[in-house]
């Protein structure tokens, strides 16, 4: 069996999209950005990146309507530059997931360590546990994945409202910080602004992962664009609610810096332990959603011959079992390497961000090439400016995605020669 069933409705799709995007970004980035810039630079970074992703959301919603395939971004790349693009982009995606999913688990491990007061070296073991748990949830089937995603979304909304109302004085001061930044630009360091905006791009990654599940959408012509835009609105509300509160806390003398920085806010609430527990549970749900999308990529790549063929086979229950089990081993290996080499999680986040930006270039070109309406010039131009700005400061890090693109191209040439 090589065809996926259509089981994802509008609301399930929105829950899936929000769960893919929100999780480690919502809980980790407010504190991580404050480690590298002032409150005003952080506020400016959030405003800038929110505007920057709007044309990208539009592009993905349009491409999703045109290409409802589990191949996702690799299909877009094939439309952009030809068959070799699918191979090249698939390799970059594999290299991205193998770094990004362990990073999500690591952030979750940091919150668990904070919750139970565990020694710092326990973060690695907890991260591995999160990977095992998230993969196990996926093995239970799409229905269970959807249930977890929906429950996670409800818990996030409730948690955000409790934190904001319990710390309303911080929320008010955070609004003042955003107002000062927006109308006067005071306290903004423009180099920090780039670094913060680039780091924050992690917070908006996920809608591209949704492309790998579009083959399973019911009524795709109506539900795909609605899922993209409704989930974007939900994500903005959740992000800005907690970000404004965290900035207000920082200027009030309550430090929320660090990977698990938001944990400092729950101490001011009578439901602090419950909120912290929700934070911990959201991370596996986020990892679960990413693993869902990644497994569809591996399955599609195996089905088309880009990756080994055994990855492209479905189990009797219509699950890409081989892809999920094989990738789990890789995720655990990367997590252990991160621990033993003491690689900062911020470095992993930035590496993933860079890879997605390179992939977005293919998607922008695919949109420009396949869209017939005149607005394509405006949308593609705005999206290109956003990607160019965010890519500008990576320097030699660009070797990683370029190397993966090269491997994909070589793989394509090899397969082409074998079939000749």
Q: Is 5 left (phi over 0), alpha (psi -120 to 50) or beta?
A: beta
* pLDDT given at position 420: 67
Q: Is residue 1 scored above 60 in pLDDT?
A: no
Residue indicated by tokens 């594999």: 94
Res 51 pLDDT > 70: yes
pTM for the predicted model, two decimal places: 0.77
Residues in CB range of 197: below 8 A, 6 or more apart: 45, 48, 49, 52, 389, 390
Residues of the chain with pLDDT > 90, as a percent, come to 23
**Strand partners of residue 217:** 8
Predicted local confidence at residue 310, as pLDDT:
92
Confidence bin at 218 (pLDDT 50/70/90)? confident
Q: Give CA separation, 235 vs 126, 148, 205, 231, in Å.
A: 27, 17, 11, 6
Residue from 11, 318, 46 nearest 202 by CA: 46
Query: Does the pLDDT of residue 111 top 80, yes or no?
Result: no
Find, among 386, 362, 371, the residue nearest to 62 by Cα. 371
> Which of 23-27, 161-165, 211-215, 398-402 is the most confident on average?
398-402
Categorize the per-residue pLDDT at 55 as very low, low, confident or very high, splitting at 50, 70 and 90: very high
CB 58 within 8 A of CB 205: no
Tokens of 364: 């922008």
Name the band, by pLDDT with cuts 50, 70 and 90, for residue 389: confident
Q: Phi/psi of residue 266, each to 5°?
A: -75, -15
Burial 107-139 (b: 16+ CB within 10 A, else e): bbbbbbbbbeeeeeeebbbbbbbbbebbbebbb
Q: Where are the domains of the chain?
A: 10-419
The rounded percent of the chain whose pLDDT value lies above 70 is: 91
Is it the case that residue 284 has pLDDT exceeding 60?
yes
Q: Is 417 helix (H, G, I), strand (E, B) or coil?
A: helix
- pLDDT at 260 (0 to 100): 63
With a cut of 70, say whether residue 37 has pLDDT above it: yes
Of 165-174, 202-211, 246-255, the poorest mean pLDDT is in 202-211
Least confident of 215-229, 281-295, 362-376: 281-295
For residue 24, name the pLDDT band (cuts at 50, 70, 90): low
Question: Is pLDDT above 70 for 96?
Answer: yes
What's the pLDDT score for residue 132?
Answer: 95
pLDDT band of 275, cuts 50, 70, 90? low
- The overall average pLDDT reported for the chain is 84
> When comparing pLDDT for 274 and 227, which is higher?
227
CATH fold of 10-419? Amino acid/polyamine transporter I (1.20.1740)
What pLDDT is recorded for position 58? 92
Dihedral pair phi/psi, residue 262, rounded to 5°: -65, -15
130 compared with 154, residue with greater pLDDT = 130
230-250 tens-digit pLDDT: 989 988 888 888 889 889 988
Structure confidence by residue, pLDDT tens digits, 354-384: 888 888 899 999 999 998 878 899 999 999 9
Is the per-residue pLDDT at 267 higher than 70?
A: no
Residue 357, by phi and psi: left (phi above 0), alpha (psi -120 to 50) or beta? alpha
Average pLDDT of span 331-353: 90
More confidently predicted of 274 and 251: 251
Higher local confidence (pLDDT), 419 or 364: 364
- pLDDT bracket for residue 64 (50, 70, 90): confident
Do 301 and 90 form a contact (C-beta atoms < 8 A)?
A: yes
CA–CA distances in Å: residue 267 to residues 105, 262, 264, 274, 282: 24, 10, 6, 11, 19
CA 127 to each of CA 139, 312, 405: distance values in angstroms, whole numbers, following the listed order: 19, 27, 29
């Amino acid at each position: 069996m090589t065809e996926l069933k259509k089981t994802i409705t509008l609301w399930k799709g929105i829950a899936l999209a929000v769960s893919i995007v929100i999780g480690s970004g919502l809980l980790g980035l407010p504190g991580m950005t404050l480690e590298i810039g002032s409150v005003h630079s952080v506020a400016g970074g959030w405003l800038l990146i929110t505007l920057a992703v709007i044309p990208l959301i539009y592009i993905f919603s349009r491409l999703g309507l045109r290409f409802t395939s589990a191949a996702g971004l690799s299909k877009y790349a094939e439309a952009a530059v030809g068959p070799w693009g699918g191979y090249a982009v698939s390799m970059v995606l594999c290299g991205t997931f193998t770094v990004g999913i362990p990073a999500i688990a690591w952030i979750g491990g940091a919150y668990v360590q904070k919750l139970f007061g565990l020694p710092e070296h326990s973060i690695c073991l907890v991260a591995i546990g999160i990977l095992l748990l998230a993969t196990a949830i996926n093995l239970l089937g799409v229905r269970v994945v959807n249930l977890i995603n929906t429950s996670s979304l409800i818990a996030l909304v409730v948690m955000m409202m409790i934190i904001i109302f319990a710390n309303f004085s911080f929320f008010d001061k955070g609004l003042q910080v955003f107002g000062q930044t927006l109308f006067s630009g005071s306290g903004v360091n423009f180099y920090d602004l780039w670094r913060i905006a680039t780091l924050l791009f992690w917070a908006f990654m996920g809608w591209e992962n949704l492309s790998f599940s579009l083959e399973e959408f019911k009524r795709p012509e109506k539900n795909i664009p609605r899922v993209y835009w409704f989930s974007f609105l939900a994500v903005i509300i959740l992000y800005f609610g907690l970000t404004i509160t965290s900035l207000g806390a920082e200027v009030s003398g309550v430090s929320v810096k660090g990977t698990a920085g938001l944990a400092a806010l729950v101490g001011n609430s009578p439901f602090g332990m419950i909120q912290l527990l929700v934070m911990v549970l959201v991370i596996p749900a986020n990892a679960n959603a990413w693993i869902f999308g990644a497994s569809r990529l591996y399955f599609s790549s195996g089905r088309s011959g880009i990756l080994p063929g055994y990855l492209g086979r479905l189990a009797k229950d219509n699950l890409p079992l081989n892809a999920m089990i094989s990738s789990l081993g890789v995720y655990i290996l990367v997590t252990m390497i991160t621990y033993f080499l003491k690689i900062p999680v911020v470095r992993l986040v930035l590496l993933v961000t860079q890879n997605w930006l390179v992939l977005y270039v293919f998607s922008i070109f695919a949109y420009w090439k396949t869209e017939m309406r005149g607005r394509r010039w405006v949308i593609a131009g705005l999206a290109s400016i956003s990607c160019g700005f965010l890519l500008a400061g990576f320097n030699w890090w660009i070797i990683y995605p370029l190397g993966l693109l090269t491997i994909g191209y070589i793989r394509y040439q090899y397969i082409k020669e074998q079939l000749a």
